[in-house]
Amino acid sequence: MKFPRILKVASAAFLLLSSGLSAVADPRLGLSVKGGNSDLRDEIIAVLSTRSLLVEGETEPQGLIAAAQADYRRILAALYAEGYYGPVVSIRLDGREAAEMSPFAVPTQVGRIDVIVDPGPLFRFGRTEIAPLAPRTALPEGFRRGATARVPVIEEAGTAAIERWRELGFAKTEVTGQRITATHPARQIDVGIGLNPGRKLRFGNLIPRGNQRVRTDRIIEIAGLPRGETFHPDEVDKASTRLQRTGAFRSVALTEALVANRDGTLDINAELVEAKRRRLGVGAELTTLEGATLSAFWLHRNLLGGAERLRFDGEISNIGLGGDNGVDYRLSVLYGRPGTFNPDTDLYIRAALEHEDEPLYLSDSFEIEGGVTRIVNEEYKFQAGLGLLYSHTEDDIGIRDFTLLTLPFSGTLDRRDNDLDPKNGYYLNVDLTPFVGVDGSGAGARLYADARGYRSFGEAEKITLAGRLQVGSVMGTDVAETVPDYLFYSGGGGTVRGQPYQSLGVTLPAGEEIGGASFVGASVELRGQVSEKIQLVGFYDFGLVGAESMPGSDGESHAGAGIGIRYQTGLGPIRLDVATPVGGDTGDGVELYIGIGQAF
């Protein structure tokens, strides 16, 4: 029994087992497994191509005969995968053995298919040897004398041994010999695999191919492959990820050169397909409390030939809201340059012009900021910059101008399994912005943290419990001396659904209503999947705003609750929420929210 052949058979079996066929009974198909092993029976059912054809309504005898003849190999693969190496398999079509039927003498019909399987004895591992093994090679627990001799375990052990050598720099480790022997009287499988690690290699050149507009020197710089250092497969994966996240390429495939260079280096080939340089997008959202929001963006993915990104965003909100609130608008531009200073640090420059006509203040502002984004890994990144903010505001205190020098810092840890529709994991974002008034308006810092957690239950994870906690604080300045954009408000889709947008702030001793110096928001949702496309949601939101930096008993609070429905699409769930106030005196009635993606 040869090692590559067994692995090939095992791979075919697992591909079939992963197809998810259900055990639907068909009166024309019978299966008998000696010994009554129900688990083995289910696995055999899952790989039967004859069963698949019958389920699909196939009646052509020629197709059923071909499928039955192929099922011998499929059944053997499934049995080998479970440690049965001496099976007897019979597949009969109306009493005739399928293997003996000629394709040139096909019957006019097939009325009954009987599959009879005697799996034989269960085999166990005897000698299990892979040599030479690299230091600290972690072989699978099941690859040992006395364990069930499953083919996937052999494959996993061989792969683990090769990968460990590769992690130590031996990129061209290969199998030089393999012998897998079945001893039937002893019901034992002996495995012997020989490896040749070859010589230890270092990274050579990255050789891009397929790039037309993105410069080769920038591709090499962004990928950050450590030329001259000892080979490690993780470094190849990192280089591929860096190129992909620029957005400049539709596909990225990094492969090792077939032959190492004479100097002990190994070149890496980068097969690239560039994405379209420009992209235009639009969006819309509607709530009965906050009105309609329209947004659009224009993106250039490769501005100067170095995978630079230039993006313009425009947004108009509170459309059709009426009352005391006018329309808000925002126009921003963002320039980003990947792989600046080092492969995992991106440079950014952004500017924004904004007009806000909010319930408790009116503001016109301009902000410009530059800084770097450091991507530690795919889950964690942080950002630091230097900015200048000018704001002309009008609220109950009066008309004021603020000019602030800011030092924004933020960190994000994202371990959700899906951004738009998470079922498990958590998300944490912390923003800290120290500021200094260059016009004598004081100095302080604004802190905001947003934590979210998700846990799904049940075999199919159809029930999801989601929770969110928001905490904010302005330190160092009094609320009356702080730019309104930095203060906190509660109410609306991002904080408390069912309550009017930014309806909760604080009231000063003289009666002025402004935002608070502290904020605590909490939300909980219970989501239940009722069908493949439909999800029902129940939720409760709470918000508290205080006049001091630390929220306490002097704060004002309100709450909202409601139900919602989600319709799954390829872009994420379409969200429809209906909410009403259940605490506080800032709102009444029932409100509607429509958008894309979960509320949090």
CATH topology of domain 409-596: Porin (2.40.160)
| CB neighbour list of residue 324: distance below 8 Å, 6 or more residues apart | 359
Question: Which among 98-107, 346-355, 412-421, 496-505 has the top mean pLDDT?
Answer: 346-355
Tokens 């030092």 belong to residue: 407
pLDDT at 421 over 80: yes
DSSP H/E element including 130: strand 124-131
Distance CA 38, CA 34 (A): 10
Residue with tokens 């906690």: 469
What integer pLDDT is reported at residue 321 of this predicted model? 63
> Above 70 in pLDDT, residue 3?
no
Is the distance from CB of 307 to CB of 301 less than 8 angstroms?
yes
Based on DSSP, count helices (H) and strands (E) in the chain, helices before strands: 7, 29
Tokens of 586: 């800032």
**Mean pLDDT across the chain, nearest whole number?**
90
Residue ranges per structural domain of the chain: 28-118, 124-196, 409-596
Interval 229-254: pLDDT, tens: 999 999 999 999 999 999 999 999 99
Checking 536-539 for CB contacts under 8 A at 24+ apart, the result is 536/563, 536/564, 536/565, 536/566, 537/563, 537/564, 537/565, 537/566, 537/577, 538/562, 538/563, 538/564, 539/497, 539/563, 539/564, 539/577, 539/579, 539/599
Give 249-288 pLDDT, tens digit per residue.
999 999 999 999 999 999 999 999 999 999 999 988 777 6
Is pLDDT above 70 for 572? yes
The pLDDT, as a whole number, for residue 373 is 97
Rounded CA-CA distance 391/458 in Å is 51
Can you list the alpha helix ranges (DSSP code H) found in 195-274?
Answer: 216-223, 233-245
Contact status, residue 424 vs residue 431, Cβ threshold 8 Å? no
Q: What is the reported pLDDT for 594?
A: 86
| Confidence grade of residue 170 (pLDDT, cut at 50, 70, 90) | very high
Q: Are 372 and 409 in contact (CB under 8 A)?
A: no
The arithmetic mean of pLDDT across residues 179-194, rounded, is 94
pLDDT at residue 535, rounded to an integer: 95
Q: What is the mean pLDDT of residues 576-590?
A: 92
> Is pLDDT above 60 for 49?
yes
pLDDT score of 13:
34
323 — pLDDT class (breaks 50, 70, 90): low
Element (H, E) at 297: strand 291-300
Residue 215 pLDDT greater than 90, yes or no: yes
Query: What are the beta bridge partners of residue 43?
Result: none
Integer Cα distance of 137 and 372 in angstroms: 39
Q: Which CATH code for domain 124-196?
A: 3.10.20
| Token output for 161 | 């041994």
In the structure, what pLDDT confidence band is assigned to residue 459 with cuts at 50, 70 and 90? confident
pLDDT at 99 over 90: yes
Instruction: Quote the CA–CA distance of 348 and 325 in Å, as a whole number.
Output: 33
Give residue 246's identity as a one-letter amino acid code. Answer: T
pLDDT at position 374 over 60: yes
Q: How far apart are the first and last CA of the chain?
A: 55
Residue 449: other Cβ atoms inside 10 A: 15
The CA distance from 53 to 224, in Å, is 51
High-pLDDT (> 90) share of the chain, %: 75
Say which residue the tokens 């769930």 belong to: 573
SS3 category, 110: coil
pLDDT of residue 19: 33
- pLDDT, one tens digit per residue, over 326-340 is 789 999 999 999 999
Residue 305 has a pLDDT of 95
The phi, psi pair for 258, rounded to 5°, reads: -65, -35
| Sheet bearing 188-196, strands edge to edge | 124-131, 188-196, 174-183
Q: Which DSSP symbol is given to 423?
A: -
This prediction has a pTM of: 0.79
Q: Is the pLDDT of residue 5 over 80?
A: no
What is the reported pLDDT for 291?
A: 78
Q: Which of 101-115, 316-330, 488-502, 573-587 has the lowest mean pLDDT?
A: 316-330
Provide the pLDDT confidence category of residue 581 given band limits of 50, 70 and 90: very high
pLDDT for res 289: 63
Asked if residue 55 lies in contact with residue 26, where contact means CB atoms within 8 angstroms, the answer is: yes
pLDDT in tens, 549-561: 988 767 899 999 9
pLDDT score at 140 = 96
Write the DSSP symbol of residue 133. P
Q: Does the pLDDT at position 21 exceed 70?
A: no
pLDDT above 90 (res 14):
no
For residue 11, pLDDT over 50 is answered with no
The reported pLDDT for the residue numbered 541 is: 97
Write the secondary structure of 33-62 as one string of H (helix), E (strand) and C (coil).
ECCCCHHHHHHHHHHCHHHHHHHCCCCCHH
Q: If you average pLDDT over residues 338-347, what whole number do you get?
A: 96
The pLDDT of 91-97, averaged and rounded, is 94
